[in-house]
Amino acid sequence: MDTLVVALFEILSFGAIVVLVVLGLGIIASMMGIFNFAQGEFVLLGAYITYVVHSIGLPVALGMLAAPVAVGALGFVLEKLVVRRFYSAPIVAMLGTYALGLIIREVVRGLTGGLYLSVPEPIGGSITIGTLHFATWRCVIVVVTVLVMAASYALIAYTSFGLQIRASLENPSLARASGISTGRIYSVTFAFGAALAGLAGALIVPVFSLFADLGIRFLIQGFVAVMVGGVGSFAGPVAGASLIGTLSAALPWLMSPVVADVLVFVLAIVFIKFRPQGLVSGRGV
Amino acid sequence: MTNNSRLLSRRRFVGNFAVASAAIAIGPGSWVIRPDWANAAEGPIRIGIATDLTGSLGFAGNTDANVARMIVKGINDSGGLLGRPIELLIEDTASDESVAVGNVRKLIQRDKVDLVLGGISSSMRNAIKDVIISRGKTLYIYPEGYEGKECTPYLFCTGPVPAQNCDQFIPWLIKNGGKRFALPGSNYVWPQTINAYARKVIESGGGEVVFEEYYPLDQIDFSSTVSRVISNKVDVVFNTIVPPGVSPFFKQLYQAGFSKNGGRLGCVYYDENFLEMNQADEIEGLASSLDYYKTLTAEDRVSAKIQSAYDRQFPAKFRFSAGSAATGTYRGLKLWEAAVKEAGTVDRDAVAAALDHAKIAEGPGGPAEMAPGKRHCRMNMYIGVAKGGQYEIVARSAGLVDPKEC
Amino acid sequence: MSNVSSTGTGARVTPRVVEVSQVLPVEASASAGRQRVLPILEMALLIIASVAPLFLRDYITVYATRVLILCLFALSFDMVWGYAGILSLGQSLFFGMAGYGVALLSRDLGIGSIFVVVPVGALIGLVAALLLAGFLLLGRHPSSIVFVSLGTMTGAYAADRLARGSHYLGGQNGIPSIQSMTIGPYELNEGPAFYYLALAILVLIYLLSRFLLRSQFGLALAGLRENEQRIAFFGYKVQHLKAIIFAMSGAIAGVAGSLYAFHEGFVWTNMLGVVMSTQVVLYVLFGGSGTLIGAVIGTAIVEGLSFWLSDNYRDIWPIILGGLLLLVILFRPLGLISLVLDERERVGSFGPSSREKRNAAP
């Protein structure tokens, strides 16, 4: 019974991490139809900024607040400079983001000297319930993920800005005709997606240590999660990420991890084949 | 050595012309460290270093290149080898096998080196060994610790192998940890091979292997493994998971209370570079088995000399440590130097025959010698335990440890 | 090309064959008087490639051979992407499987003869592609472009991971020490001999592809790329067309894979993985898709640049390469070939030549 509870907690916390990483990817994919190949590198940047803040002596928590802001700003700039040109050719946009990701990754590799660097958690230790120990920081990640999701949902569903976003999502030409500046909306959305990735990177760096290839790991998982969940809505990527994240964390408990690794992706592809619209179909929230 | 300074020998002319035209054809070219005195009769001896200067193993490759620079400078400053200066050529294998093969070909076909030393991962070694040995007919020294079983002629290994890592280490772990072992590893050849060897030593020492499991290289969540370790009351975790997974694994083990409850972590490759990957208390008490530790400089004059010479020439970024094959590079080059002196030539067969039983009296961690007929190296092994983020040496081998390969 | 009136290659067509100009909404007369640059470009490159080994140092010739094999690989991608509009992010699956297949032949059975190795490579690529295409493309609903690309990418990823875990396949180390390829009793080593062999195979397959893509089949593919629904309404079995072109590209990738294995002398898991797939996409993007020669040029330039950059800017060359790619994507999204060819020639002129049009009765 104990093992089951611990297992559930671990699976949940890992699922939360995947959701956080994929949320930004999903929002960008739903909004603009572009799979951002640099999303993993935005996560890496968030982790790196947190490390830098820590290494100059400031509290880690400060770095974790700075990271999403900085990465979001970078995303805003990149969207205006690079991504904007390719809305009519999403495939080229994807490859453009791939080139961007390559540059970011190699720059970070040069700055870290190729080493693996550790960042301490702002809130360490563990919470004890009975005989079970739960790492505090993992709990924090779960809580923050839920809060961020709730806040994003509230923003999109209940504010007028969110209304504009949804309008641009469902029918861009009509939105433009109604006077909504879709260009501005896209920039903000891309920045938001990037900021989410930056936040994810900042939160997970105490768990996984900082290294230049951190982003690649999440890339394919992210794409599969978004496809499984369904492109075009907010709930879709969340659902997909939760499913893929929990599956990736749960299967190794049941079978050889090497097999489990491949099985998750194969299952996902088979699922998408027979339900192409994903878990949550339809556009909008 | 005859005085040929008056004669412009044809070979020298052709050699210089070839170098010049290569430079023109290719541009500035790869790192070439030319000695300032190149008036030897037959031209300089060329050593090629093919290592990962960029990519994920860049931190190790750059260290090896630095060690080579240091050694070659030392040899040239004291008059060269066989009266000839040594020219060092460094190529980047970029942690990418297909790039590596192309760059190693440059060393063989364009630069015509007399020796290639390099490769860090086993897959890199496999990729470049044919280019060097069979197609290139050149000697190859592989400096990194690995899983053993490489018995190709003209390929000499100067890093520790499973027997050296385990023979002394496992009995120590049984005595200072317990009898129940877990063998979690990354899913590739090195962990699988060393675990097979470790299992034999564990069982013959009265221990038992509770479970042995392998994980994909980029797996970062080990909750199921940690749970198995705790619930099976494992005493010693003999870890062969490598980065990036090793850091979250140790962290999760620590958070589950493994070391607090008396568990012992053992990880053979964990050198000073890796200590930074986790917080100090997460790896407190971790034991590793290496051929060199920086703290040896306090007790061994030779190691201190080597370490300080390296730190003086290459301060800051790339640490001289055992795990990055720096010690293997040092040994390899010095043993080769001794072999060339004995053979009196750089001809491959003569040098290989001499290298087969070469010895050096001074090396990092102690002397070293090649085991005759085995093409692997005997060396001192040490056991270090992490205390407060630094290593403390708790055991030393009684002499040079035999590699037991081939 | 002028056989507009004959029935197509196996695909069912309506009895009254549609006029070319109704399928492709471009004017055939626009290129009536223009110089055709494409054949000149191809001829020039062929001449350069043929005489290059005479001027190059041996080790550069060896490098160039590798580039030629990669050009073949890039060709396979251009076929599916440039002509059929399928973004196959998993071409390395066929490349790597063929490589591993022939490596196993060499290791376990000692077979190295080119007459066995190359056809086996092609066969492995073909079968793998057919299976993958069958799963991804066929079925009741037409698959979205993103699904196909993701599916192929996952295929490559899964194969990579599985190979890493397999001891028989050498795990992460791969299979080293593959013997040299033999042509009859003659052993083929790297150098000018292998170069010319690779060049010959490349030219042969290039010509075959060009011929095929200029035929009725290529016509249907062009229509497929431009507007899939419309071509379906004309009665073409779209998914079958896709499967066929996919299988063919798989076969070509397989040939490239088998040559690569024997030239480099080892195979390893990266040959199967996502990085290799993305690399070939970048080659074609750089050079320009839809012209076959663009793939060749792109490969040559990117590989040449990497070679030169890694020599001279040792520490930061990946960043420079990424930056260059970004610049090309930003300013020349159609690839470098668009500097010399115009859009019309990219798509390919499928109508009768201008002279025939003038002579033909309206």
Asked if residues A135 and A126 have their Cβ atoms less than 8 Å apart, the reply is: yes
- Give residue C343's pLDDT: 61
Amino acid making up residue C96? G
Starting at the earlier edge strand, list the strands of the sheet with B382-387: B208-215, B180-186, B236-238, B264-266, B287-290, B382-387, B390-396
- Give residue C71's pLDDT: 94
First CA to last CA distance, chain C:
18
Asked if residues B163 and B197 have their Cβ atoms less than 8 Å apart, the reply is: yes
B238, pLDDT greater than 90 = yes
Residue of C nearest to A37 (CA): C278
Asked if residues C83 and C225 have their Cβ atoms less than 8 Å apart, the reply is: yes
In words, the CATH class of domain A2-274 is mainly alpha
Q: Which chain B residues touch C314 with a CB distance below 8 Å?
A: 30-31, 53-54, 92
**∠ CA C354-C356-C359, rounded to 5°:** 110
Q: How far is CA B142 from CA A240, B150, B163, B293, C8, in A?
A: 46, 10, 17, 20, 60
> Does the residue B280 lie in any domain?
yes
Q: What integer is the mean pLDDT of A66-73?
A: 93
SS3 A130: coil
Q: What integer is the mean pLDDT of C16-20?
A: 48
pLDDT mean across residues, chain B: 84
**∠ CA C72-C78-C84, rounded to 5°:** 140
Q: DSSP letter string over B322-387?
A: GGGTHHHHHHHHHHHHHHHHHHTS--HHHHHHHHTT-EES--TTS-EEEETTTTEEEE--EEEEEE
- At residue C292 the predicted structure's pLDDT band, cuts being 50, 70 and 90, is confident
Asked if residues A258 and B214 have their Cβ atoms less than 8 Å apart, the reply is: yes
How do residues B47-81 score in pLDDT, each as one tens digit?
A: 999 998 877 788 888 899 999 999 999 999 988 88
Helix extents (H) in C56-113: 58-78, 91-104
- Give residue B16's pLDDT: 42
The total of structural domains in chain B comes to 2
Q: Which chain B residues touch A117 with a CB distance below 8 Å?
A: 276-277
**Closest Cα in chain B, distance from residue C66 (Å):** 9
pLDDT mean across residues, chain C: 79
- Give residue B333's pLDDT: 93
Residue of B nearest to A105 (CA): B55
Element (H or E) spanning B289, and its range? Answer: strand B287-290
Can you name the residues that pair with B390 across neighbouring β-strands?
A: B387
Q: How far is CA C303 from CA B132, C108, C280, in A?
A: 22, 33, 11
| Omega prior to A172 cis, within 30 of 0 | no
Same domain, B262 and B389: yes
- At residue C35 the predicted structure's pLDDT band, cuts being 50, 70 and 90, is low
How do residues B350-378 score in pLDDT, each as one tens digit?
A: 999 999 999 998 888 889 999 998 899 99
Higher-scoring residue by pLDDT: C290, B380: B380
- Give residue B142's pLDDT: 94
How do residues C136-160 score in pLDDT, each as one tens digit?
A: 877 666 677 777 887 888 888 888 8
Instruction: Dig out the tokens for A5 from the structure.
Output: 């509870």
Q: Taking the domains of chain A in order of start, what are their residue ranges? A: 2-274
Higher-scoring residue by pLDDT: B387, C59: B387
Residue of C nearest to B109 (CA): C59
Q: What integer is the mean pLDDT of C35-44?
A: 78
- Give residue A68's pLDDT: 92
Q: Are A114 and B58 inside 8 Å of each other by CB? A: yes
Separation CA B15–CA B20 (nearest Å): 9
- Residue C248 CA to chain centroid, in angstroms? 10
Same domain, B129 and B206: no
- Give residue A24's pLDDT: 84
Q: Quick one: CA dihedral A79, A84, A86, A90, positive or negative?
A: positive
- At residue B107 the predicted structure's pLDDT band, cuts being 50, 70 and 90, is confident
**Closest Cα in chain C, distance from residue A225 (Å):** 11
- Give residue A87's pLDDT: 74
Helix extents (H) in B116-258: 122-133, 162-166, 169-176, 189-204, 223-231, 246-255
Separation CA B177–CA A159 (nearest Å): 60
Asked if residues C213 and C221 have their Cβ atoms less than 8 Å apart, the reply is: yes
- Give residue A86's pLDDT: 76
C3, pLDDT greater than 70 = no
- Give residue C97's pLDDT: 94
Same domain, B148 and B176: no
Q: What integer is the mean pLDDT of A174-193?
A: 86
Can you name the residues that pair with B264 across neighbouring β-strands?
A: B236
Q: Which chain B residues touch A133 with a CB distance below 8 Å?
A: 255-257
- Give residue B4's pLDDT: 42
Same domain, B183 and B274: yes
Separation CA B69–CA B89 (nearest Å): 10
Instruction: Dig out the tokens for B254 from the structure.
Output: 């620590």
DSSP state of B402: P
Q: What integer is the mean pLDDT of A142-148?
A: 89
B305, pLDDT greater than 60 = yes
The CA dihedral of B241, B244, B245, B249, to the nearest 10 degrees, is 100
The CA dihedral of C270, C272, C275, C278, to the nearest 10 degrees, is 150
Pick among C55, C56, C57, C180 to test the B interface (most B CBs inside 10 A)? C57
Pick among C168, C180, C259, C266 to test the B interface (most B CBs inside 10 A)? C266
Q: Quick one: CA dihedral B53, B56, B57, B58, positive or negative?
A: positive
Q: Which chain A residues touch C141 with a CB distance below 8 Å?
A: 276
SS3 B109: helix
Same domain, B326 and B310: yes
Q: Which chain C residues touch B150 with a CB distance below 8 Å?
A: none
**Closest Cα in chain B, distance from residue A10 (Å):** 6
- Give residue C30's pLDDT: 41
Amino acid making up residue B64? D
Q: Which chain A residues touch C315 with a CB distance below 8 Å?
A: 110
Higher-scoring residue by pLDDT: B328, C346: B328
> Does the residue B344 lie in any domain?
yes
Same domain, B136 and B211: no
Q: What integer is the mean pLDDT of C194-222?
A: 86
Separation CA C315–CA B58 (nearest Å): 10
C223, pLDDT greater than 60 = yes
Q: Taking the domains of chain C in order of start, what are their residue ranges? A: 33-351
A229, pLDDT greater than 90 = no
Same domain, B171 and B63: no
Same domain, B139 and B28: yes
- Give residue B92's pLDDT: 86
Q: How many residues does chain C have?
A: 362
Separation CA A201–CA A17 (nearest Å): 9
Same domain, B242 and B386: yes
Specify the CATH number for the domain of residue B214.
3.40.50.2300
pLDDT > 90: percent of chain A: 9
- At residue A70 the predicted structure's pLDDT band, cuts being 50, 70 and 90, is very high
Task: For chain A, say whether C130 makes contact (Cβ under 8 Å).
Answer: no
For residue B247, the enclosing domain spans 163-290+382-396
How do residues B15-29 score in pLDDT, each as one tens digit?
A: 343 343 333 333 334
Same domain, B147 and B107: yes
> Does the residue B36 lie in any domain?
yes
Starting at the earlier edge strand, list the strands of the sheet with B359-360: B31-33, B86-92, B45-51, B115-118, B139-142, B155-157, B376-379, B368-371, B359-360
Same domain, B128 and B216: no
Q: DSSP letter string over C179-224?
A: PPEEETTEEE-TTHHHHHHHHHHHHHHHHHHHHHHTSHHHHHHHHH
- At residue C344 the predicted structure's pLDDT band, cuts being 50, 70 and 90, is low
How do residues A106-117 score in pLDDT, each as one tens digit?
A: 888 878 876 777
> Does the residue B5 lie in any domain?
no
- Give residue C25's pLDDT: 43
Same domain, B86 and B216: no
